[in-house]
Amino acid sequence: MARTITTGIDIGTSGVKVVTAELVRDRTTNKIAPKLIATGWSETKGLRHGYVMSVSDAARCVTAAVRQAEKMAGVPLKRAFVSANGIGLAALASLGSTVVSRGDSEIGDLDVTKALETCERDLPNSFSLNRKIIHAIPISYKIDGKIVLGRPQGMKGMKLEARTLFITTIEQHLSDTLQVFDEAGLEVEDVYAGPLAASLVTLTKAQKIAGCVLATIGSETVSIAVFENNIPISLEVFPIGSTDITHDIALGLKIPIEEAEKVKVTAGSSVSNTSNHTWTTPSGISYSKKKLDEIIYARTHDILELIEGHLKKIGRSGLLPAGIVLTGGGAMSADIEDLARSVLKIPAKVARPAFDADRRGLPDTVWSTAHGLSILGLTQENDSSMGIKIIGQARKSFWGWLQQFTP
């Protein structure tokens, strides 16, 4: 019997993460479910803020990480789902409408298609110029000005309106990313926005329905995706990350960046609550926990203020019952949950996905995006649970894509 295996690859500024999953039958429940069978990691070279600066350097890093995963999985890996990340990732909601075509005023598939196509046509040139749409997600429908719960097909009215969220990436960056994988000898099955991929393994359906924000704190960027009614309603990326915390520590303690990174990691894993506890760096510099906490607090507070600003912009400040869920390597900062609750005035928690401890000592949160990518395609449920259909490389007919949103 042929094995059903998929691979997800997340190229971050600090590292390339590869996760391979396989559909297996659980002997206890007799249900078929995804199981992680391999991981691979390599330090990233040739990227900055998510942009590919050197195709050849990035390709070598991808190859190194894939070779590790192949050795662990025991099978060659030739195809993969790939993340779209970086400050070039952007989203915008657009409105579109159409007059119902049938004489009896019943709304059909053609009317819905026209309304959604109008949404794309009405995107401002300033947003769509030099960009490629990778996701188009219907947020809501109205019939004659009244909000429709569920699908509009079969209902009656004179005018159908649609509100659609378009997630895009810079076309040149996408082309460079695909070239990286081509040079690494891998076929890209499709491209998926990193924050949405991470949500597949960090958020529950109940959280997405109630309303929450997923924040992925990477090395040089922080990306957020806001969910309501089980669909993403907004996405934003900020050019700030955990590397900025490292730089602050280096300046504040006057130590080399390499030592500052180790100090940051130690602080994130520390369980000590003693503010006057003193440590010494390898170069002999003594510092107190209180001073280190102040440095980390200041930059983390800046990150959370950016998130709060975006939530205010979309009218969701303090109005997300399921709160904020934090993931990514930078989510391991000490006391980040308490600080997030204080700044955002909503519940906060660090996502801890079911992931086997990594032998390289990386925190589980680093793997969220690659983990989510690895289970794409293994089950239809994961692909359509948020009302999303990938419309990148393997673009299907518009109606085939639209079917993903119907109950």
pLDDT band for 185, please (50, 70, 90 cuts).
Answer: very high
Averaged pLDDT score across all residues of the chain? 86
- The gap from C-alpha 253 to its chain's centroid, in whole angstroms, comes to 33
> Looking at the predicted structure, is the pLDDT value of residue 387 above 50?
no
- Give the pLDDT confidence score for residue 332 in this predicted structure: 80
Give me the number of domains the chain comprises. Answer: 2
- Give the pLDDT confidence score for residue 179 in this predicted structure: 95
Domain assignment present for 123: yes
Write the CATH number for 312: 3.30.420.40
Answer yes or no: do 342 and 249 share one domain: yes
- Give the pLDDT confidence score for residue 357 in this predicted structure: 44
- Give the pLDDT confidence score for residue 353 in this predicted structure: 64
List helix spans (H) across 10-136. Answer: 55-73, 109-121, 125-128
Write the CATH number for 147: 3.30.1490.110
Place of tokens 């297996």: 24
pTM of the model: 0.88
Q: Higher confidence at residue 378 or residue 380?
A: 378
- Give the pLDDT confidence score for residue 2 in this predicted structure: 65
pLDDT band for 84, please (50, 70, 90 cuts).
Answer: very high
Structure tokens at 11: 């190229």
Residues in Cβ contact with 289 at an 8 Å cutoff, skipping those fewer than 6 apart: 267, 270, 272, 274, 275, 276, 277, 278, 279
pLDDT band for 342, please (50, 70, 90 cuts).
Answer: very high
d(CA 75, CA 5): 10
Domain assignment present for 290: yes
Q: Which domain holds residue 120?
A: 91-168
Instruction: Give the pLDDT mean for 20-46.
Output: 86
> Looking at the predicted structure, is the pLDDT value of residue 395 above 70?
no
pLDDT band for 276, please (50, 70, 90 cuts).
Answer: low
Domain assignment present for 262: yes
d(CA 126, CA 130): 9
- Give the pLDDT confidence score for residue 60 in this predicted structure: 96
Q: Is 8 left (phi over 0), alpha (psi -120 to 50) or beta?
A: beta
Answer yes or no: do 161 and 257 share one domain: no
Q: Is 23 exposed, middle or buried (0-12, 13-18, 19+ CB in 10 A)?
A: middle
Q: Higher confidence at residue 30 or residue 306?
A: 306
List helix spans (H) across 1-156. Answer: 55-73, 109-121, 125-128
Domain assignment present for 326: yes
Domain assignment present for 285: yes
Structure tokens at 107: 């709304």
pLDDT band for 390, please (50, 70, 90 cuts).
Answer: very low
Domain assignment present for 291: yes
